[in-house]
């Protein structure tokens, strides 16, 4: 028998309907909600042949495990399509842009990193199988649908994976306060950004496996940024650098 899990929040549930409606078994909505958002989601589900049940808030909270479900909970197939690095590289239509997280255990941070990856065109987020959070309902909700669009790849050995990426011609950049300024970093070509857990940063072996260490210049009193904020800044900087390079090439041409 296939195992199931819950998915909650409008973004996460709608994204699953859009990406893999066949994996949705049933949807429960708050009977007290009759707004356009709830009606649109229910209509999309019914069009896909998925049962929609109107239930009270207590039932939704019991299904989600807490109250922050926005009035919608879905029961979905727990199995995700298995994606490997080989799959990602086989489908690349542009230089690789990857995000690796070294020991991030907060599900909200992982969800936000997936959202950043989707927003800035990273082709995958890579995490270690141990000492890191995996994909769960909280991660999916925080990702606002990005958990359905960005592959999350769990690897046994992060340092070995970094070595594999180097062999594929990817430039591995580790975010570290002791590194060179992001303003001066060469962000051209295939890039993999590596971020450590908050408060701990990159582990020694991970740090030593990076080609370069890059620091985000900070002007205020704070000494560090939330990992998802830092990831968003670095992914954006990479996209911006690529856009400038393309514009410069077009101007020369």
pLDDT digits 0-9 by tens, 70-126: 889 988 877 665 678 888 887 788 999 999 999 888 888 999 999 999 999 999 999
* pLDDT at 215 (0 to 100): 96
Are β-strands 152-155 and 124-128 bridged in parallel, bridged antiparallel, or unpaired? Answer: parallel
Q: What's the domain count of the chain?
A: 2
Do 73 and 171 share a domain, yes or no? no
Do 15 and 122 share a domain, yes or no? no
Do 10 and 94 share a domain, yes or no? no
Domain-ending residue, one of 22, 56, 77: 77
> What residue numbers bound the domain in which 56 lies?
4-77
Do 69 and 96 share a domain, yes or no? no
Domain-ending residue, one of 26, 58, 77: 77
Which residues does the chain have with pLDDT short of 70? 1-2, 66-67, 79-82, 250-253
* pLDDT at 42 (0 to 100): 92
Do 55 and 90 share a domain, yes or no? no
* pLDDT at 115 (0 to 100): 92
Q: Which residues, including other chains, have CB under 8 Å from residue 159's CB and lie 6 or more apart?
A: 205, 206, 209
Do 71 and 176 share a domain, yes or no? no
Answer whether 16's CB lies under 8 Å from 6's CB: no
């Amino acid at each position: 028998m296939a195992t199931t899990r819950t998915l909650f929040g409008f973004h996460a549930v709608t994204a699953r309907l859009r990406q893999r409606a066949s994996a949705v078994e049933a949807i429960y909505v708050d009977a007290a909600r009759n707004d356009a958002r709830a009606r649109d989601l229910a209509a999309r589900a019914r069009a896909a042949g998925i049962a929609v049940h109107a239930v009270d808030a207590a039932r939704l909270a019991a299904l989600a495990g807490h109250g922050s479900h926005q009035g919608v909970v879905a029961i979905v197939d727990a199995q995700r399509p298995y994606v490997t690095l080989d799959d990602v590289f086989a489908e690349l239509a542009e230089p690789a842009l990857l995000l690796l997280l070294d020991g991030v255990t907060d599900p909200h941070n992982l969800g936000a990193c997936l959202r950043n990856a989707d927003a800035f065109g990273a082709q995958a987020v890579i995490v270690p199988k141990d000492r890191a959070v995996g994909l769960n309902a909280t991660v999916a909700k925080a990702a606002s649908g990005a958990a359905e669009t960005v592959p999350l790849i769990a690897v046994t050995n992060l340092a070995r994976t970094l070595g594999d990426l180097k062999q594929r011609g990817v430039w591995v950049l580790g975010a570290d306060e002791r590194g060179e300024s992001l303003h001066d970093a060469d962000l051209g070509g295939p890039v993999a950004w590596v971020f450590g857990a908050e408060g701990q940063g990159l582990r020694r072996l991970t740090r030593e496996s990076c080609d370069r260490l890059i620091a985000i210049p900070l002007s205020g009193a704070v000494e560090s940024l939330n990992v998802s904020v830092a990831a968003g800044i670095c992914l954006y900087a990479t996209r911006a650098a690529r856009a400038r390079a393309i514009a410069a090439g077009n101007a020369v041409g």
